[in-house]
Amino acid sequence: MHSILGPLSKSLAIAFLVCMTMSLGLEVTWRQLVSLLRDKGLLCRALAANLILVPLLGLALDMIFPMPLDSAIAFLLLAAAPGAPMSLRYTRNRDDDAPFAAALLFILILAAICFTPLIAELILPAQTLLSVPYDRVATVALLYMVLPGLIGIVIQRWGGEETVMIRKVTSISARVFFLAWVILVTAEQSRAVRQLGVPTLAAMVSLVIGSMTIGWFLGGPQRKNRRILATGTSMRNVALCAVIAIENFPGTKVDIALVAFSALMVTPNSILAFYENYRKKWRNALTVVS
Could you give the CA distance from residue 169 to residue 23 in angstroms, rounded to a whole number?
9
- Return the pLDDT at 97: 65
Name 252's Cβ contacts closer than 8 Å, sequence gap at least 6: 70, 73, 245
Cα torsion angle, 116, 34, 27, 160, sign: negative
pTM for this prediction: 0.82
| Residue 194: CB atoms within 10 Å | 10
Strands (E), the chain: none
Residues 89, 176 contacting (CB under 8 angstroms): no
Q: What is the pLDDT of residue 273?
A: 85
Interaxial angle between packed helices 266-289 and 198-217, expressed in degrees from 0 to 180 and rounded to the nearest 10: 40
Give the pLDDT confidence score for residue 4 in this predicted structure. Answer: 47
32 vs 80: CA distance, rounded Å: 29
pLDDT along the chain (290 residues), means of 10: 59 83 78 76 94 97 94 94 83 66 82 86 78 72 80 83 86 86 79 89 96 95 91 90 80 85 90 84 72
